[in-house]
Chains A and B, each alone.
Chain A
Amino acid sequence: EAQVTQNPRYLITVTGKKLTVTCSQNMNHEYMSWYRQDPGLGLRQIYYSMNVEVTDKGDVPEGYKVSRKEKRNFPLILESPSPNQTSLYFCASSSYLGGGNTEAFFGQGTRLTVV
């Protein structure tokens, strides 16, 4: 089954404690991205990756890091989380082929609370 898997689904942490949210896809997609979803703001892109070792900033990258060492994995790293990073996070992947008309597949989401 084609899927994007995020872990954990729920996370409560304290300010300043480094954390990593993992994302893995089994569709051999080149393009992967991270979004955060906040009420009234929709989804905003944090970082994206066109392929292995190729990453770039999205609209709201401050306070986040990513890496793409393998094609299937795209972890999101919060080096020093702050309360304003409390949000619902989604990882997505899509095929590089076909330009902008390819469907994005989303993970189930990670609800992060920073206290």
Chain B
Amino acid sequence: AQSVTQLDSQVPVFEEAPVELRCNYSSSVSVYLFWYVQYPNQGLQLLLKYLSGSTLVESINGFEAEFNKSQTSFHLRKPSVHISDTAEYFCAVSDERRQLTFGSGTQLTVLP
């Protein structure tokens, strides 16, 4: 069985400050890792994913996440956040059976 733990349920941060959203996973098999973002009153959208190769993956809007196999982590970072980054962020793990398992979510609130 696989599971995902997002350590922070709420992360308030001031605009232009850096942010890190933490994610740890457990799985007995090789996994694929994802970050999804949910803006208010919308569905989830894929932000970035790790499949294989380089352990650092980036999104088009400045987020990046690093896969750390030894620590079983996939933390999401952004060096400078904007008001528009306010949303709920979900870390997820998938295996070859395509069963997506989500964490409980982290609400990122960017303050002016």
Contact = CB atoms under 8 A, between A and B. Distances in A.
A101 B104 CA distance: 21
Nearest to B50: A101
Contact of A90 (B31, B34, B44, B105): B44
B49 A101 contact: yes
A108 B104 CA distance: 19
B15 interface: no
B51 A101 contact: yes
Contact of B43 (A41, A58, A90, A103): A90
Chain B at the A interface: mostly helix, strand, loop or mixed? loop
Nearest to A48: B99
Given A40-B104, A42-B105, A108 B43 contact: yes
Interface residues on B, range: 20 to 34
A79 B88 CA distance: 31
Contacts of A107: 43
Interface residues of A, number: 26
Interface in A78-115: 90, 92, 94, 96, 99-104, 106-109
Given A90-B43, A109-B43, A101 B90 contact: no
A40 B98 contact: no
Given A42-B103, A42-B105, A43-B102, A100 B43 contact: no
Contacts of B44: 43, 90, 92, 104, 106
6 contacts: A45-B101, A90-B44, A92-B44, A100-B32, A100-B98, A101-B32
